[in-house]
Amino acid sequence: MEPQPRGINRKPSKENSLFEWYDSMVFALTVIVLVFVFLVRVITVSGYSMEPTLLWNDRVAVQSMLYTPKRGDVVVMDGYINYGDPLVKRIIAVGGDTLDIDFSTGTVTLNGQQLDEPYISAPTRVSYDVVFPVVVPEGYVFVMGDNRPNSLDSRSSEIGLIDERDILGKVLVRIFPFDRFGRIE
């Protein structure tokens, strides 16, 4: 009978088990960091402009890669417009759309069709300095908050139309507070 090579039937040492556990944890943390850096960001909502959809201090997960702006999406935009805070608004119109708002009735019309907006807190009766109708140029979006009476948005030249390149991503889910965890529509 030939002698068995050393170490074939040996049990792993405590040091090897510890190293394998440590190696697995480092790998898992690396994957999590990469996901949060390149695919998903966590943003804290500040302000009342998105009520009732999002409330002040809600924390949301934002899809930051491979996103194409679409009407109705709640998005986060670069905060250079608003003194460094990211803006959270809903896309109402995209490039090529014609948007009109009748402030006396509070109705929003997109490409000749009145929008059904079950997510808003009140009809759109507050106007700023932008003159309607507005034709949105390609590469830009028109955004408004869901709390129309208390939202500074594309109706004001202070915010204006948003360049698609300034959109950080689409809000996917509210992750905090936990009792209101869920997908954002």
Q: Which residues of 82-120 are buried (b: 16+ CB within 10 A; e: fewer)?
A: eeeebbbbbbbbbeebebebeeeebebebeeeebebeeb
- Beta bridge pairs of residue 167: 77
Tokens of 94: 């995209």
Give the span between the Cα atoms of 8 and 128, in whole angstroms: 78
Tokens of 157: 């030249």
Active site residue 70: no
Give the span between the Cα atoms of 12 and 19, in whole angstroms: 11
Residue 141 neighbours by CB distance under 10 Å: 27
Catalytic annotation, pick one of 46, 64, 89, 121: 89
Which residues touch 56 (CB under 8 Å, ≥6 apart)? 45, 46, 47, 48
Catalytic annotation, pick one of 13, 46, 49, 151: 49
Active site residue 49: yes
Tokens of 68: 């194409």
Q: Which residues are catalytic?
A: 49, 89
